[in-house]
Structure 1
Amino acid sequence: MNDKEAVILTTQEAEKYLERAMPALKELIVSTREFHNEDNIKDVGEAVEGLGWLSQYSHSMQHLVASGYPEMAGHFAQFEKDISFIISQMVEGSRNQDQVLIADIMEYEVMPLFEAMKEIIGQVLHKIRHH
């Protein structure tokens, strides 16, 4: 598999992940605000794991697209930085059992990040497929 194929395959996986994650995250935000139970803690943990995967994806993409699409590499570098900060905030919120903080982070930081990533991913796929 060459770099172009790797970029396309992993980017399609990231796109699929975001398509599934965004509606689930909206539901998790509501349930985290309304209910404080063990399922929410588990679901937040899974959301953090998903963010970890997106961070790894962003890190890989920086290197895979750097030579051909430096502006895209810059977006992925920023995503990786943002995700790292968000994960640290969510871990802190979990440690303090602060459900409101966690819900706010998901709504005001994670959702906009997912929307931005989805847009950039679409641009990456378009550019790579048409070059």
Structure 2
Amino acid sequence: MKIYILNKTLEYENNRKAIHNIFKDIEDIISKSEYIFSHLVIDGYDVYGDFNNYFSDNIKSIQEVKVVTKTVKELAQDILLSTIDYIERAVPEIEILANEFYKTPEKETWNKLTQLIEGMNWIMKSFTMIDVDRELKSIVSSYEEWNLYAKDIHELGELIGEFQEMLENQDFISVADILSYEIVPLFNEMKEKLEGLVCEEVTPNDTDRQ
């Protein structure tokens, strides 16, 4: 099989004994570059995790592997775009969820609330991952707008705390109110800020870095 990584082409035999060396060589090459590992494209299929098992299961048939890498800025932009996409999909579902809490929440209602809280935590963790980067000012298009977004993130964290207190008291009407009148408007404000933060620059295709 052939491995394409950062303008290099590596060749290995198609057997399981080679798997350890494949990933070690990939790690060594990336560690000496300015790029960050993103994922693999294996015979045209995007693979984002469980790489060892994928290789073990398909070792005899794999012909071509492209190692996709990104700069810190590109990775951050991907995170911002993913957050925008999540918010767009979440807002209509939150409105439905609020209506369910105004009535009598059922098992599926609780499952959806759990998923929402997990999504909110993911947004906060994603923010932190970018915010602590020393190159933050070069990553986001507006440092001032990023600080305003940071305030939204702080408010989101406070709302999660309020959720826990309301749920302990089984105050379902207040849960519905916070979903409708605080989470939805906050998500819309966050989306607007994120759209301003996403750079419009055209970046090179990641798979071209071989």
TM-score (norm 2): 0.57
- Give the 5 Å matches for 1:69-80: 69-80=142-153
| 1:105 counterpart = 2:178 | yes
Q: CA deviation at 1:55?
A: 1.1
- Report the CA distance between 1:13 and its aligned residue: 0.7
Which is bigger in relative contact order (C-alpha 8 A, separation at least 6)? 1
Amino acid in structure 1 at the alignment position of 2:172: Q
Q: SS of 2:137's equivalent?
A: coil
Higher strand proportion = 2
User: Which stretch of the first structure deviates more once superposed, 108-117 or 59-68?
Assistant: 59-68
- Aligned residues between the structures: 129
| Residue of structure 1 in register with 2:137 after alignment | 67
Q: String of CA shifts for 1:63-88, please: whole Å, max 9, x gaps.
A: 45742432122023212211110000
Q: CA deviation at 1:57?
A: 2.1
Matching of residues 46-61 of structure 1 within 5 Å: 46-61=115-130
- Larger C-alpha radius of gyration, 1 or 2? 2
Residue 130 (structure 1) shift? 4.1
Separation (CA, whole Å) in 2 of partners of 1:113 and 1:56: 17
The C-alpha deviation readout for 1:21-68, integer Å capped at 9, x for no partner, is: 011111101111122322222221111111111111222343457424
CA contact (8 A) 2:87 2:187 kept: yes
- How much identity, in percent, do the aligned residues show? 22
**Larger helix percent:** 1
Gaps of at least 5 residues in structure 2 are 1-69, 203-210
RMSD of Structure 2 on Structure 1 (CA)? 1.8
